[in-house]
């Protein structure tokens, strides 16, 4: 695969940025990349052992799942303990009773001979999961058909550096520099395209920039991860900064409809052309725009909020699937970060009141969503969220407006994302980070 000159320029910038600060950093770790690579080598030795034992018949599938979970928790920076990794493996082991379950999984897990064989394994496994979805009354209990991440994760354990791991964060950065994954017809085609790009990037770095690394594909991952992580860390460093509104606002998300393009400015409690034209205060305009957002995402939305007594700002209901659920949402327009503070009683009241109404519609699964510009995150906030959950069994999810726009962008540009997959976004209390969104939606 040939990189365009524009793509080469971007990769060269990424290289220069990384060489200035050659650190691998996320919420779990911060260390020089070569130290991280050694840590990863040690982790993969443990992972290779359980893969080998499982393939040889010395480890049951249930025990393989359990030991994989332990490794993913011991080495969280491998990125497997999230929704698209260990959760999908748990789903596969716990929910599938088909007699071919072990055989099909082992066929997919065996290290491919080459990239073409990797493509075939991914597609064959997807076909198997597709058949199971068609045969069951609850298709949502079956993992999603594209399991490129899980399979490539276990392939890497068997031969580190041979096949790149299909990290959503890597794919996300590649899309941002002009690689179009939408034309790939099958999951296997998509993975082959992804791997070819990674190989080509390192060839460029090696042949034209003189980069020589012990683990070439890992180095490419480091470059792209640093770019993926950078926007979030830069925003955090300016979390107390009030952003001045300008008449000409540019929205980077090309898939975001213009009608909701000013959402992140309204979340900052700033007037926009839309709010001024309609003589609306930013906080009221923010509530209305959230109704638009959830409608665009395909939910049945009822706007409540101001003028209707003690109510949340709205309810978005997912109907028509095997399991219906509701998102009770509340808008908090703030120039600085929002702190849940003493709002716990109010939220509990909202939940209990709406629960009774929703149960009459046969909707028993509820999530509470707070949308703002930024959130304060400390032990007091964590305790408050935990207390609310104990009293209601409903997780309170904190979501930044710009990340909600990102969800819209992913949903509209990937039509296979449905409400069942999106429900995973709201199952855990606390801040819904961009990393978690990408982990779940790709």
Any idea how long the chain is? 442
Strand residues in 160-299 grouped as ranges (E) = none
- Map tokens 């962008």 to a residue: 409
Q: How far apart are CA 211 and CA 236, in angstroms?
A: 32
pLDDT of 246 reads 37
Cα dihedral 339, 290, 325, 355, rounded to 10, equals: 60
- The answer to whether 403 and 388 are in contact (CB under 8 A) is no
CA distances from 76 to 5, 151, 162, 193 (A): 36, 18, 22, 27
Domain at 258-441, CATH class: alpha beta
Degrees to nearest 5, angle at CA 164 with 158 and 170 = 140
For the chain, give every domain's residue range. 5-237, 258-441
Helix 216-237 × helix 33-55 angle, to 10°: 120
CA distances from 331 to 251, 264, 276, 372 (A): 21, 12, 19, 6
Furthest C-alpha separation in the chain:
70
- The answer to whether 89 and 65 are in contact (CB under 8 A) is yes
Dihedral sign for Cα 225, 176, 198, 109, please: positive
- The whole-model pTM stands at 0.69
The closest of 423, 347, 353 to 385, measured between CA atoms, is: 347
Q: What is the pLDDT along the chain (442 residues), one digit of tens a residue?
A: 889 999 999 999 999 999 999 998 877 788 999 999 999 999 999 999 999 999 999 999 999 999 999 998 888 888 888 777 888 898 889 888 889 999 999 999 999 999 999 999 999 999 999 999 888 877 777 888 889 999 999 999 999 989 999 998 899 899 989 998 888 899 999 999 999 999 999 999 999 999 999 999 999 999 999 988 775 444 444 333 333 333 334 344 468 899 999 999 999 999 999 999 999 999 999 999 999 999 999 999 888 865 455 678 889 998 765 568 999 999 999 998 898 877 788 889 888 888 888 888 888 889 999 999 999 888 888 889 999 999 999 999 999 999 999 999 888 887 778 888 888 889 888 999 887 887 777 6
pLDDT of 25 reads 86
């Amino acid at each position: 695969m040939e990189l365009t000159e524009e793509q080469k320029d971007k990769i060269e910038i990424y290289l220069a940025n990384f060489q200035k600060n050659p650190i691998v950093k996320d919420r779990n770790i911060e260390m020089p990349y070569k130290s991280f690579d050694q840590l990863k080598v040690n982790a993969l030795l443990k992972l290779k052992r359980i893969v080998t034992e499982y393939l040889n018949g010395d480890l049951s599938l249930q025990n393989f799942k359990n030991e994989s979970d332990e490794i993913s928790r011991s080495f969280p920076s491998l990125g497997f303990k999230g929704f698209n990794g260990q959760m999908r493996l748990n789903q596969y082991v716990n929910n599938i009773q088909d007699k071919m379950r072990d055989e099909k999984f082992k066929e997919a897990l065996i290290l491919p001979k080459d990239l073409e064989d990797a493509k075939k394994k991914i597609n064959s496994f997807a076909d198997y999961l597709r058949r199971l979805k068609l045969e069951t009354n609850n298709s949502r209990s079956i993992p999603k058909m594209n399991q490129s991440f899980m399979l490539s994760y276990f392939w890497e354990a068997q031969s580190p550096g041979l096949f790149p791991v299909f990290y959503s964060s890597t794919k996300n950065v590649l899309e941002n520099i002009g690689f179009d994954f939408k034309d790939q017809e099958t999951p296997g085609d998509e993975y082959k395209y992804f791997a070819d790009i990674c190989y080509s990037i390192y060839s460029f770095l090696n042949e034209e920039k003189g980069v020589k690394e012990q683990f070439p594909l890992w180095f490419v991952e480091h470059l792209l991860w640093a770019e993926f992580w950078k926007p979030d860390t830069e925003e955090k460093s300016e979390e107390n900064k009030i952003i001045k509104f300008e008449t000409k606002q540019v929205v980077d998300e090309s898939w975001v409809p213009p009608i909701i393009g000013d959402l992140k400015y309204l979340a900052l409690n700033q007037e926009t052309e839309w709010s001024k034209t309609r003589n609306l205060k930013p906080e009221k305009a923010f509530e209305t725009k959230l109704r638009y957002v959830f409608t665009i995402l395909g939910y049945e939305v009822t706007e409540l909020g101001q003028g209707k007594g003690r109510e949340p700002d709205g309810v978005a209901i997912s109907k028509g699937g095997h399991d219906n659920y509701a998102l009770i949402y509340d808008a908090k327009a703030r120039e600085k970060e929002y702190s849940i503070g003493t709002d716990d009683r109010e939220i509990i009241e909202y939940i209990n009141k709406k629960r009774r109404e929703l149960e009459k519609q046969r909707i028993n699964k509820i999530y509470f969503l707070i949308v703002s510009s930024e959130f304060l995150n400390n032990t007091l906030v964590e305790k408050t969220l935990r207390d609310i959950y104990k009293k209601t069994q409903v997780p309170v999810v904190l979501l930044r407006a710009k990340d909600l726009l990102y969800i819209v962008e992913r949903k509209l540009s990937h039509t296979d994302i449905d409400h069942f997959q999106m429900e995973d976004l709201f199952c855990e209390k606390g801040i819904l980070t961009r990393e978690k969104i990408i982990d779940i939606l790709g």
